[in-house]
Structure 1
Amino acid sequence: MLKKNDEVTLEITGMTNEGNGVGHYEGIAVFVAASAVGDVIRCRIVKVNKSYCYGIINDIITPSPYRIQDSCSVSKTCGGCCFRHFSYRQECRVKEQFIRDSFERIGKLAPRYDSFVGCERTSHYRNKAQYPVGLRDGKAVCGFYAKRSHRICPWYDCELQPEIFEKIVGYVMDYVERNSIPPYDESTGKGLLRHIYLRRGEHSGEIMLCLVLTSLRNSDCFDDMILGITKRFNDIKSVVFNENPANTNVIMGKKTVTVSGSDTIKDIMCSNTVVISPQSFYQVNTLQAEKLYDIAKEYAAPDKDTVLLDLYCGAGTIGLSMFKEVKKLIGVEIIPQAIENAKLNARLNGADNAEFICGDAGKIAKILFDRGERPNVIIADPARKGCDRQSLEYMAKMQPDRIVMISCNHATAARDCAILGELGYKTEKVRGVDLFPRTSHVEVVALITWVG
């Protein structure tokens, strides 16, 4: 049995969903961060479990043919990226295999796999960033959490974010330092500024700046900053404060106030004008999301007689990308602010055939079934935890011809598709779409059809 601090030679032959390389030593799996398939390494064991171990690279004896130079100086400490050390083409292969493994091993399914859709732009593609602010050696710092910790890596020149975000965050932090504004201290619950949260419209260029504070009562200390930052950065069209006094890992609280400009920003998604609020869901990679929605439309195959039910609809962007092709669109979302955005988005784009309902997907699906709604097509885009059983059962009870599942978690998507299989449906085909280059995350679209 391997012991802590043992040094062994390993060939990396696989990857985990978290981005660790996998090798085997005398039948024991060893997981190694920052390794690539094809690497032969000298590895030091740092943690031993009953049937597997974790190791770190001491030396690369033979580098993988896919290995490249990491262009980010903090990726080894920041928890954001895990695939910066090998080629993007290989990353796409790895992610496609993740999806296949989930559907075949977890779901016990055998769909057709349509070609994986990689991303043309692998840097500066995100339209949203949330930067924690805290204390480090008595000084206010801002950046990203190190992997599996709440230790802030003080670095906001992130290659995944728009370059203007770095300048805006730098302006805010310079103001915080000059005015001795206390950052939030997780250990004591004291301090004022918890997070700097930015959103940007990919096509419009409009930016929202949100400061998450422990109390709005003391927010007037930012008055001069608001005047200065909106003059310096003309694209900032909205400045909002969010109050979160709770001792929690949840970033935003319930109360949000607008202190400059509009309550929302606007963007274009699939040729529709969309409004974006601080708490409404909006895909972080707009250009790739448009490709994702085009695939969803292809799988949904809507026509003028289609009644389309869009569950977990967020601000309505997926369903509204198809409203011109369908007879009726019904969207369901549990977040009230998102539903208000969806209703406004419908009005802005002349979607008179759209109805948006606020509530839990499973409960609303039951209400819709009881009132006699029988959609031809259902689109479901749940959070990472996937659909609850009630939602899946009522989706099946409505007996739509097609269900299109969109998910950022291929494991829960495979599980949900398997449950739908028990309820009379077959997973016909699956396609991966990479919205998150250089990270372990990947989107998947599945077409599920009624077989009875």
Structure 2
Amino acid sequence: MATMNDNHPQEKPGTPVQTVEVRIEKLLNQGDGLGRHDGQAVFVPLTAPGDLVRARIIKQGRGFVQTALEEVLEPGPGRREAPCPHYGDCGGCNLQHLAMDHQRQAKADIVRDCFQRLGKLDVSDLLQGPYPVDDAPDPAEGLGYRNRIRVFRDPVGHYGLMRKGTHDVVALEQCLLMPAFFNTELLTWLRMQPPVEQVVLRLDGRGGWLASLFGPPQRLRVLKKIMAGLSADQTPGPGCQGLLFNNRPIWGRDHLVLEVAGHKFRVGAQSFFQGNLAVTERAVSAVRKWIAELKAAGTLGPLMGDLFCGVGLFTLTLGENFQRVVAIDSDPYGCRDAENNIRRDAAVRDRARVHKGRLDQMAARLRSEDGAAWRDSFCILDPPRAGLGKGGLGVLTDLAPRHLAYMSCDPATLARDVAALQEAGYRILRLEVLDMFPQTAHIESLIFLERQD
């Protein structure tokens, strides 16, 4: 029988401890297991389908009980020993206790369930993946894939991640989701620097890295003295490309150059980029394949809309298939990088333009510039977790692109948006779950839709 720290805060002293025993039926969207007790839904973190567990009641609501895992009485068929010694304490992962094939199956089941419950859509016959990615650092175990991490300093000077639901720092000896270089070199480098409150490290996958440090202003004076002591051929650390303090550069670059699908991307310290480069390449490959099929069928229009463009990932990797590309994003840092990346890419520099602003405020401008061309267009969407929202959906249904590729990091908001798009005349052609975030319950999905005339 196994016990586990489940990341939940403890009850107040003197609170009577109440427990329930439940069999876990399935995993839910945020990774908690679902069981049933006395007609109520019981949510238990860090569990696996088929587990029989004893759980401590944390909160009772109308029709549900939130609990903390006390003991696994009978393990389900997919349960394993987590590979990371920090698991169950650190809040970074919540599926390490599942074997990789069971993790992937659970994610596919969650996507299917979200579409069924929230979108009233049965996608069972369309759903594919997630699949292992051969080019990933460790495709069998789903480790070492992340290129970005934010760590926090505890009162005694160790860096780590927050315990879930608290501001307590769990000091890290290693993070198995990060490449070995982070664990062997960068954690050691961090401990030798003047203490700061937070550090964001971004890796380029080729030995280069960028560090953004955050802390009280007086630390800047110390850091500047250290940087001033470096000779012209020295770096702050092996492979360091740039060092920033409170988002202000103090040494080297303020960006990294990442390579995906044959293109180079300048990614500034404050710009978003996907955290798993190998699976990002898989997503690009899937969209390229669909575009090739549309082109062969003679149904690909001349205009592409990259409607949440970020630094220009899809503009650069897909844009050569179109006469014109309109890229839109509300993030000024991403737009700056997108403009820079477009200028440097010979395939798209003369056909792509970037608009800064929110999609739901762009309808009039888009209609005035490209008019009826939108009805034959191909649009790719990669919105934040909240999805398109009513405003974004309104713009899309107004422009009515012929083809949509929608990449989502939340199956619940994806199901909601796709249901609305189907009501507006679109049909689903394909749906693939991408294993962008192994060991966690975060789920990336890619869906293709076509307007029915």
Shorter chain as denominator, the TM-score bin is: 0.7 to 0.9
Alpha-carbon separation, structure 2, partners of 1:169 and 1:346: 35
The residue number in structure 1 matching 2:198 is: 195
How big is the shift at 1:194?
Answer: 2.8
SS in 2 for 1:420: helix
Cα distance change on mapping 1:295 and 1:4 into 2, 3 Å: farther
In the TM superposition, what are the counterparts of 1:145-294 in structure 2 within 5 Å?
A: 145-155=162-172, 157-166=174-183, 167-176=185-194, 181=195, 193-202=196-205, 204-215=206-217, 218-226=219-227, 231=235, 233-242=237-246, 256-294=247-285
Unaligned runs of 5+ in 1: 182-192, 243-255
- What TM-score, normalized by structure 2, do the two folds share? 0.86
Quote the residue 2:396 is aligned against: 395
Alignment of 1:8-407 (within 5 A): 8-111=20-123, 112-120=125-133, 121=138, 122-135=142-155, 139-155=156-172, 157-166=174-183, 167-176=185-194, 181=195, 193-202=196-205, 204-215=206-217, 218-226=219-227, 231=235, 233-242=237-246, 256-301=247-292, 303=295, 305-350=301-346, 351=348, 352-373=350-371, 374-375=373-374, 376-407=377-408
Structure 1 counterpart of 2:5: none
Q: Secondary structure at the match of 1:372?
A: helix
Q: Deviations over 1:408-451 (max 9, x none)?
A: 01111111112222322223331110100000101111112112
Q: TM-score, normalised by structure 1?
A: 0.86
Higher mean C-alpha displacement, 334-343 vs 160-169: 160-169
> Structure 2 stretches of 5 or more lacking a match?
1-14
Moved more, 140-149 or 439-448: 140-149
What is the number of equivalent residue pairs in this alignment?
417
Distance change >3 Å, CA 164–CA 106, structure 1 → 2 = same
Cross-structure match for 2:4:
none
Give the root-mean-square deviation of aligned CA atoms: 2.3
Compute the displacement of 1:206 (Å): 2.0
Note the C-alpha offset of 1:9: 3.2
How far apart are the structure 1 equivalents of 2:370 and 2:324? Answer: 14
2:327–2:354 CA contact under 8 A, matched in 1? yes
Bigger shift: residues 94-103 or 358-367:
358-367
1:73 is paired with a residue of what secondary structure? coil
Q: Name the CA shift for 1:7/1:130 in 2 (closer, same or farther; >3 Å).
A: closer
Say whether the 8 Å CA contact 2:407–2:445 is kept in structure 1: yes
3-state secondary structure, aligned to 2:77: coil
In 2, the alpha carbon distance for the partners of 1:211 and 1:328 equals 39
CA distance in 1, matches of 2:281, 2:270: 21
Percent identity between matched residues is 24
Q: Counterpart of 2:11?
A: none
User: Counterpart of 1:143 in 2: which secondary structure?
Assistant: strand
Q: Is the 8 A contact 2:108 2:130 kept in 1?
A: no
Q: What is the CA–CA distance in structure 1 between the aligned matches of 2:62 and 2:163, rounded to whole Å?
A: 27
Secondary structure of the structure 2 residue equivalent to 1:371: helix
Give the distance between the partners of 1:288 and 1:415, measured in 2 at CA.
Answer: 24
Distance in 2, Cα, partners of 1:300 & 1:398: 20
